[in-house]
Amino acid sequence: MRNLIFFIYKYHVFFMFFLLEVLAFVILYRYNNYQKASFLNYTGAIANNFYTGVSNTKDYFNLRRVNDSLQLENARLRTQLLTSYYQNNISLNSINDTVYKQQYTYLTARVVNNSVTKRKNYITLNRGRLHGIEEKMAVISETGVVGIVNHVSDHYCTVLSVLNSDCRISAKLQKNGAFGALMWDGNNPRIAQLKDVNKHVPVRINDMIVTSNFSPIFPEGIPIGKIYYHTLDAGDNFHTIDVEMFTDFTTVSTVYIIKNVFKQEQESLESLLIEERNKK
Q: Which of 159, 168, 117 is nearest to 141 (CA)?
A: 159
Q: Whole-model pTM above 0.75? A: no
For β-strands 120-125 and 157-164, DSSP reports them as: antiparallel
DSSP letter, residue 199 = T
Give CA torsion, residues 77, 83, 85, 86, to 10 deg.
Answer: 180
Whether 233 contacts 240, CB under 8 Å: yes
Alpha carbons within 13 A on the beta-carbon side of 65: 5
pLDDT at 100: 60
Q: pLDDT higher for 52 or 137? A: 137
Give burial (CB, 10 Å; 0-12/13-18/19+) of 95: exposed
pLDDT at 3: 75
CATH of domain 104-262: 2.40.10.340
Q: Which of 240, 241, 247, 213 is nearest to 227 (CA)?
A: 241
Is 18 strand, coil or helix? helix
Q: Which of 195, 120, 181 is nearest to 150 (CA)?
A: 120
CB proximity list for 36: less than 8 A, separation 6 or greater: 29, 30
The residue ranges of every structural domain in the chain are 2-61, 104-262
pLDDT at 7: 72
Give CA torsion, residues 102, 90, 273, 264, to 10 deg.
Answer: 20
Whether residue 246 has pLDDT greater than 80? yes
Whether 187 contacts 105, CB under 8 Å: no
Amino acid (1-letter code) at residue 263: K
Q: pLDDT higher for 127 or 77? A: 127
pLDDT tens digits, one per residue of 14-38 = 778 778 877 777 776 677 776 666 6
pLDDT at 234: 79
